[in-house]
Amino acid sequence: MSSKGSAETLCDKIQSRAPWTLGAQLALVSSKHLSMESMLFQVISIGILSIPYALSQGGWLSLIIFVAIAIICCYTGILLQRCVDSSSRIKNYTDIGAVAFGRKGKILAATFMYLELYLAAIDFLIMEGDNLDKLFPGVSFRIPGLLTITGKQGFVLIASLVVLPTTWFRSLGKLAYISLGGVLASAVLVAAVLWVGAFDGVGFHERGELVNWSGLPAAMSLYAFCFSSHPVIPKLYLGMSDRKMFPKVLVLCFVVSALGYGITGITGYLMYGASTRSQVTLNLPPGNLTSKIAIYTTLVNPLTKYALFVIPVADAIEDGTRVADSRPVCVAIRTALVVGTTVVALAVPLFGYVTMLTGALLCSSVIMLMPCVCYLKISSMTSRKVGSFERVVCVGIIGLAVGIAAAGTYISLKHIVHTLKN
């Protein structure tokens, strides 16, 4: 197979699995209700754990940026809908890149999603290790005569072993519907944080900073991570029985999600101020029943979602290399992918900075840059006219996305390197 053919095959497989990549288990929904539920599942991500930390990085005024990013992401979701309406060839997110810029556009869109999946899977393992270490502090694992593994590293390894068999499945159906509980889990987490602050002696006494200019790139990167649901929007839109309802459903989902994020962020920052950690669960008082409920809820979510992020990548590799019919080879590929994410999670156990890097480098491109660029390009190729004001808005969003990508990537990599050195 030629390199060009291989690239196209790999890209086609990634885009054909794209609804699964970010958990769009109900991509072929036939009702507004299911579309709403599936969209909420998308928009509410593990980023809810980092919202208080993002607020501590940027200060209170960064809430304005948070609201702006939520509005921008909702708007770019509408742009994706318009792109889908412009051509019957568009069936998913990467088709938009293909219609706008041909094979290169499709490969670029698929690459963004592929990397986002990989980093998200790493985030899951880091999160498992951090929260298990919170529940069972001081635990270590000894292999007689060989080595002693510290608690956090040991828990990452245990989590990897637990999720490994789930990546061997050929069908994602059961895991998909189980993982829809992520919306409920997020609601439980918000309620638990509020309860700890109000009734468990922590209180809401921290004043925080009005603005922290040096921390704004980090805050914006984390905010972008929270709203990275766009790869699934074309499938959800095409699956609706009444597509005219899509804008209302999209706006409602973003409003509900932003409220959930906002409540968690404000509550967590008022509780812990500058000492807020990268995951708010790590700040909760140890031994407290409500804290345990929040942490256990946080722990269960990744165990059901991890495979949904890794399997699409494995499917793409298997089909692109024509080994999909060999069960042993497929198991080996999937195991290697899990091992790869485990190694990175052990080497870079920095949830906040890895999430920041994902938001800056990938999410800002997927949710801001590409929708605007593709919309302007596709509109120039069709009869649809883009007004001067809308063109200025799109160019402004493109500039913001580039700024977040550049500043956020630099800051996150700088922090990662500095932390690992020390």
Q: What is the pLDDT of residues 327-359, one digit of tens each?
A: 888 899 999 999 999 999 999 999 999 999 999
Per DSSP, the three-state class of 284 is: coil
CA distance 334 to 356: 26
pLDDT tens digits, 235-248: 888 878 888 888 99
- Sequence ranges of the domains in the chain: 3-421
Give the mean pLDDT of 174-193.
Answer: 74
Query: Quick one: angle between helices 93-135 and 3-21, nearest 10?
Result: 60
Q: Show the tokens assigned to 281.
A: 């669960």
Burial of 98-131, coded b for 16+ CB within 10 Å and e otherwise, reads bbbbeeebbbbbbbbbbbbbbbbbbbbbbbbbbb
CA gyration radius for the chain?
Answer: 21
Average pLDDT for the chain: 84
> What class does CATH assign to 3-421?
mainly alpha
CA distance 260 to 257: 5
Per DSSP, the three-state class of 145 is: coil
CA distance 54 to 417: 20
Question: Is 222 buried (19+), middle (13-18) or exposed (0-12) by CB count in 10 A?
Answer: buried
Give the mean pLDDT of 251-278.
Answer: 93
Neighbours of 138 (CB within 10 A): 7
Considering the entire predicted model, what is its pTM?
0.86
CA dihedral 377, 378, 380, 382 (to 10 degrees): 170
CA distance 413 to 354: 9
Q: Could you tell me how far CA 124 lies from the centroid of its own chain? A: 10
Task: Please name which of 214, 202, 359 lies closest in space to residue 276, comparing C-alpha atoms.
Answer: 202
Q: What percent of the chain has pLDDT over 70?
A: 86
**pLDDT score at 383:** 75
